Amino acid sequence: MNRHRQSPLATAHLKRLVAEWAMLADLCFSDLVLYVPAGDSSFEIINHIRPSTSQTIYHSDLVGEIRSNDQRPLVSQAYLSGEMTHGDIDSAWLGETIRVSAIPVRCDGQVIAVMSREFVSAARVRPGALEQTYLQVFDRFTQMIAAGTFPFPEELVRLTNTPRVGDGVILLSADGRVEYASPNATSALTRFGARGVLIGQPLAALGADSHVLAQAFAQGAPGVGELESETEVTISARLLPLQDSTGTTGAIVLLRDISDLRRRDRLLMSKDATIREIHHRVKNNLQTISSILRLQGRRLSEPTAKAAIEESVRRIRSIALVHETLSRDAGDDVRFSTLLRPLVRMVEESLVAPDRPVRFTVEGDGGVVPSALATSLSVVLTELLQNAVEHAFTAVAHRDAPQIVIRLERVSEQLRISVSDNGVGFPAEFHQRSQQSLGISIVSALVETELLGTIEFSEPLAPERSAPAAGAEITICVPVNRQSDTAELGTDR
């Protein structure tokens, strides 16, 4: 079966219609089925929606099924004539008579599809005021669909927490006064603070913030807004104008009480602000500790003790950088590249001598990592950079410009970090655990025990100390999704 190809403009129009038709199905208390031509004498069902205000007649999915002209003669007639058609068809599948209203969907002057309202009339009870009003509004929308003026352009109808028909409906007259308010709409406005009879009241009676809706109504365009009262009742409102060839003849306003959602949002914002403030205070406390250590270090005269104090200060500052980043950004995750560059600057400022500059290069992006992982990795990288600066470029025979390269690579749920230099390489006794420095011991403990990762040391290309620079590389690989396990391990120790 060769399905009729739609133009991009027609496809976009149908997508906007589908985005709107939950409201239409609720207004007409019926299933809505969207048909497009699928070759000679047949139509394909490309979408189907059931009402939330009534029972459905189709309990199975219709999308993708084909209906011939004989099975849906009213759909075929509406498509060919461009006029709405109404009638009954006998469904052998359902064993009942189905009432069908076929509405041509027009876009840019051409009929591109047919929207069919389908229901079993025998199941309908006598409609009350609400049902009659909703059906009249649906009929007005179908006139707009057939004329090509509905749905409205996509950029005009975007709204978070979009109200539905069941949440509350207000019908406005051509002069912007309330003609009808559903019981749910009346209840929502009563909680909001509206008093007295709503019928006959202007749109401004909905609340102080309803000027956005009033302006949209005056312009004959959709409008959205939130009405918030002094009692912290918040109503999400959406206005859709009803139009014909003469202009705007009225509008409906869909209302939804979203007070609980906004209250939850305020709590989340308050919690997020509290967490950021905690990170800020932790950062300040760590900076205070590092300042005290620096003061203590200045009073020491023994070189080994002074070096130990300076190393401790760098480790504390690397942790403080993580909390400083978390204090600025929402959430508990950190983009690791934003931490790496301040770490590099810290090492460069504290260890690199002006007469022997070291070039640092960062390659790749480690993506976003949990804060617990970022804290440990910051300490690890500080130790690796410090180790490279202090031990890689000490040989007199080293002729190349000192360079350290940090490479980041994210593979699936693994983060791979390598620190390489063009220095003298590892000493022959380096791979003996007893001969490794305190910094490398800290790295090994954090990577293998805390982070459940692996660490690899490359072999020097030239083991002789007098040989040209051979370089060294240390690579760590840690799982990114094991922050909960890491937290448990940290708690046990």
Give domain limits for the chain: 8-126, 154-257, 260-331, 348-493
| pTM score of the predicted model | 0.60
389, 350 in Cβ contact below 8 A?
no
Which H or E run contains 442? helix 438-445
pLDDT score at 449: 85
CA angle 313-316-322, nearest 5°? 140
Same fold, 8-126 and 154-257: yes
Q: What is the pLDDT of residue 162?
A: 79
What is the helix (H) or strand (E) element at residue 112, kind and residue range?
strand 110-119
Give me the count of residues in the chain.
Answer: 493
Pairwise CA distance, residues 427 & 408, whole Å = 26
Burial 172-201 (b: 16+ CB within 10 A, else e): beeebbbbbbbebbbebbeebebeeebeeb
Q: What is the longest distance spanned by two Cα atoms in the chain? A: 101
Strands 403-411 and 359-363: parallel
| CA contacts within 13 A on the Cβ side of 21 | 22
Could you tell me where the beta strands, DSSP code E, fall in 13-123?
Answer: 31-37, 42-49, 66-68, 85-91, 96-107, 110-119
Please, how many CA atoms are within 13 Å of residue 372, restricted to the half-sphere of its CB? Answer: 16
Question: Which CATH code of 3.30.565.10, 1.20.58.220, 3.30.300.30, 3.40.980.10 fits the domain covering 348-493?
Answer: 3.30.565.10
Can you tell me the distance from the alpha carbon of 43 to that of 223, in angstroms, rounded to the nearest whole number?
A: 35
- Three-class secondary structure of residue 46 per DSSP: strand
Q: Terminal CA-to-CA distance of the chain, rounded, Å?
A: 68
Q: What CATH number labels 154-257?
A: 3.30.450.20
∠ at Cα 191 (188, 195), nearest 5°?
100
Is residue 36 within 8 A of residue 17, CB to CB? The reply is: no
Secondary element (H or E) of residue 239: strand 234-244
Identify the CA nearest to 357 among candidates 330, 382, 325, 389.
389
Cα–Cα distance for residue pair 167/186, rounded to 1 Å: 10
Q: The domain at 8-126 falls in which architecture?
A: 2-Layer Sandwich (3.30)
pLDDT values of the chain reduced to their tens digit, one per residue, 493 residues = 345 578 899 999 999 999 999 999 999 999 999 999 987 789 999 999 999 999 898 888 899 999 888 888 999 999 999 999 999 887 766 667 889 999 999 999 999 999 999 998 765 567 789 999 999 999 999 999 999 999 998 655 455 567 999 999 999 999 989 999 999 998 888 888 777 778 888 877 766 556 778 888 888 888 888 888 777 788 888 999 999 999 999 999 999 988 888 778 777 776 777 667 776 787 788 788 888 887 888 878 888 887 788 778 777 877 777 777 777 766 678 788 877 888 888 877 777 766 678 888 888 888 888 888 888 888 888 888 888 887 777 654 455 678 888 898 888 788 998 888 887 777 665 655 555 667 788 888 888 888 888 988 875 444 444 444 467 888 989 998 744 343 333 433 3
Nearest to 100 by CA among 35, 39, 13: 35
Angle in degrees, CA 457, 461, 465, rounded to 5: 100
